[in-house]
Amino acid sequence: MAMTDSEKAARAERALLAGAAPDVAAALKGWLARLGNERRLSAKTREAYARDMTGFLGHLARHLDAQPDLAAFQALAPRDVRAVIAAKRAEGIEPRTQMRFLAAARSFGRHLEREGLGKVGALTAVRAPRIARTLPRPISVADAKRLADPDLRAGEARETWVLQRDAAVLALLYGSGLRISEALGLRRRDMPAPGEGDHITVTGKGGKTRMVPVLPNVLQAIAGYVQACPFALELGGPLFVGEKGGPLSPRIVQRVVEQLRGALGLPDSATPHALRHSFATHLLARGGDLRSIQELLGHASLSTTQIYAAVDASALMASWRAAHPRAHLGERGGKGG
């Protein structure tokens, strides 16, 4: 049976504590409790923090030739922190992951200072690795619709209800702009029947909830899956289940999209999460305002949502270059007027 996010987080936290010096382990235990209780981070985020901190401590121990205790943390110099980041870079780890390592260590450093266990100034003195900001790559409206069409897979040797389930999940990701974890985290009682509601409440990052609309055709697709599903879907149980009746794994949905993008000739960037990008980009292209899209996506900051404005502008310029009769004059040596 697949492990739950909470079980994975607990396992990562145990591994972190087991590999630390006794006084550091005690401080880490308090830090992890703060992440869960005060900051209300999700189990998946806590797991990531624990894994990143385990990696940071491992590289730091190799650099110092000793398992660091609290005194060693307080004595850290910026060059020591840079050495840890450099070691990750030498392993071919991308800047985003390097930044996560540093972010976890800084969070732990702030906890030490709050608890009166010392100040680790070296962690804040080191500049975080620069990350090239890449634009999301949305899927076209037509391809997004085709991904959620169960008839596209009619020839597969799969049970009909499984094909209906997969189509319903993908339709929900695109129609409501959900993260895959949000869609698969829905309970049966969260989804209204067709004609009985037009929105749902989802739980996003950090345990924050938000209301999102659900299109009538998406409700119909989900209702069709529920009716065809051979398992009794309890109101308090998962809405989407696997072939053995347990919670549906995100990896199953990812594999489905991998197969479909091959059939449709789509690039590798066509993933379940790309459907969320497509939701935002297509809304913006049709006059949706950024603040509303921010609320629908559950972004804490408007600056996160503003990247879709760049996507829309990029598509607009590409269309202009392809269609305007004077767009290529400069390339042929002509002059614009």
pLDDT digits (tens, 9 = 90+) for 266-313: 888 888 988 888 888 877 777 766 677 777 776 666 655 566 665 555
The radius of gyration computed from the CA coordinates of the chain, to the nearest angstrom, equals 24
Is residue 49 among the annotated active site residues?
Answer: no
Catalytic entry in 34, 106, 158, 205? 205
**Strongest mean pLDDT among 36-40, 109-113, 137-141, 309-313:** 109-113
pLDDT in tens, 127-175: 876 765 555 677 888 888 888 887 777 667 788 899 999 999 999 998 8
pLDDT-derived band at 224, boundaries 50, 70, 90: very high
Catalytic site includes residue 82: no
End-to-end C-alpha distance for the chain, whole angstroms = 68
The better pLDDT of the pair 166, 200 is held by 166
241 SS3 class: strand
Q: Is 205 a catalytic residue?
A: yes
49, 174, 225, 308: which one is catalytic? 308
Residue 284's Cβ-count burial label (10 Å; 0-12, 13-18, 19+) is buried
DSSP 134: P
Q: What is the pTM of this model?
A: 0.59
Three-state secondary-structure class, residue 323: helix
Query: Would the pLDDT of 333 be above 50?
Result: no
Per annotation, catalytic residue among 51, 59, 277, 299: 299
Residue type, 106: R
- Is 130 catalytic? The answer is no
Quickly tell me which residue has 């072939």 as its tokens. Answer: 243
308 is catalytic: yes
Of 273, 277, 328, 332, the active-site residue reads 273
Give the pLDDT of residue 100.
Answer: 85
CA 173 to chain centre: 13
Cα dist from 204 to 33, 155, 260, whole Å: 20, 36, 27
Of the candidates 179, 261, 277, 282, the residue annotated as catalytic is 179
**Across residues 71-95, what is the average pLDDT?**
85
What's the pLDDT band for 93 if we cut at 50, 70, 90?
confident
Over residues 1-20, the pLDDT tens digits come to 567 888 888 899 999 998 88
Q: Is 94 helix (H, G, I), strand (E, B) or coil?
A: coil
Active-site choice (88, 276, 277, 282): 276
CA angle, residues 179, 304, 40, in degrees to nearest 5: 60
- 276 tagged catalytic: yes
